[in-house]
Amino acid sequence: MKKLNVAIIGQGRSGRDIHGAFFKSEYNEKFNVIAVVELLEERRIRAKEEWGCDVYADYRELFGRTDIDLVVNSSYSHMHADITIDLLEHGFNVVCEKPFAKNYEECDRIVKAYEKSGKMLNVFQQSRFAPYYTEIKKIIESGKLGRPVQYSIAFSGFARRWDWQTYQGYNGGEVRNTGPHPLDQALDILGFDDNITVFSKLDRVNTFGDAEDYAKIILTAPGKPLVDVDLSKCNAYAGNVYVVHCQYGSLKATMSAIDYKYYNPETAPEQKLTIEPLFKEDRTPAYCSETLDWTEEHVDVEGTVFTVGCKKYYDMIYDYLVDGKEMEITPYQVLKQFKVIDTIRAQNPLDTITVK
């Protein structure tokens, strides 16, 4: 099997502990890391020890190399756009970490550079391939639960945070930082519809930065279910990641287990509308009451977004670069995501601070 050579920009939590960890794992059989770019000297030294590869302080030192098949851009969030565009213009295929950009305008600038370059561009939305999400989709598509009416997605917990990802000047905040994963899933559920309605509420609760650590986002489109997204750092009782309200039953899911229950409409008691008062046998007032025969099913989810999800994502990248197979995730889908993000931010303007 042909292996592709990779350069990673950044050795922080994403570059080292997600992308790097995947490339070092048993799940990776298709990529070799041959170069690392990192601003901090101590991280460059560590990368040299861990990878035994070339290390650079500036990504532009990669320019001119012809042995790199893919560059993973895991720089600071506010650097993503300019570095990605520069890489594309210098002939590199690029996977960019989320957030892809600051806003729709910046995202559009990246996409235009991609179209002009003729190279590959993708954003690291590996949660599209998370085992819990793909299993939920399979269950809904089976029709057992009937028509889905509402998806409630919660990427929440309780935490105080004070790092650079809480700073708007670095494209921080829950919507841009955590949000791209559930928003990508939400837009996938809605079929990346062009007519999405957005309601949102942002707040700063326990953050020490100037960006939001609470977001409520409600999305829907004509003829589609409602999708209710929670991004909260002030929920000490966080539990299910998904709850799906459906015609014949419901589903609840964590990232490791799914439970769902449903009835069979063909064997359910026959009912019809009546506008006359309802009575019990003793002629006292009654409420609608029936016994449904529920079927309950349980699924233990195998694998995680950081194992199976990353593998499927990078398999997609490999299959495109080697065999020209169409990619399930595209930059144009991310453009639609940024239309939503810009709407959220317009609905909730937040004061900013300047850190010197």
Together in a domain, 188 and 225: yes
Together in a domain, 48 and 159: no
Together in a domain, 159 and 36: no
Type of residue numbered 13:
R
15 vs 146, more confident: 146
In angstroms, the CA 249 to CA 130 distance is: 23
Together in a domain, 79 and 169: no
Q: Which of 96, 124, 152 is the last residue of a domain?
A: 124
Query: Which CATH number fits the domain that encloses residue 98?
Result: 3.40.50.720
Q: Which of 92, 124, 156 is the last residue of a domain?
A: 124
96 vs 285, more confident: 96
Check residue 32 and give left, alpha or beta (phi > 0: left; psi -120 to 50: alpha). beta
Together in a domain, 116 and 222: no
Total structural domains in the chain? 2
Q: Give the tens place of pLDDT for each residue, 74-86.
A: 998 899 999 999 9
Together in a domain, 35 and 180: no
Together in a domain, 198 and 68: no
- Please state, as a whole number, how many other Cβ atoms lie within 10 Å of the Cβ of residue 287: 6
Check residue 171 and give its pLDDT.
85
Look at residue 44 and tell me if it is in a domain: yes
The whole-model pTM stands at 0.94
Q: Give the tens place of pLDDT for each residue, 61-117.
A: 999 999 999 999 999 889 999 999 999 999 999 999 999 899 999 999 999 999 999
- Percent of the chain at pLDDT above 90? 84
Query: Which CATH number fits the domain that encloses residue 178?
Result: 3.30.360.10
Together in a domain, 159 and 228: yes
Look at residue 173 and tell me if it is in a domain: yes
Together in a domain, 209 and 132: yes
Look at residue 325 and tell me if it is in a domain: no
Q: Structural domain of residue 158, as residue ranges?
A: 128-263+338-347
Q: Which of 84, 107, 124 is the last residue of a domain?
A: 124
Look at residue 269 and tell me if it is in a domain: no
Look at residue 353 and tell me if it is in a domain: no
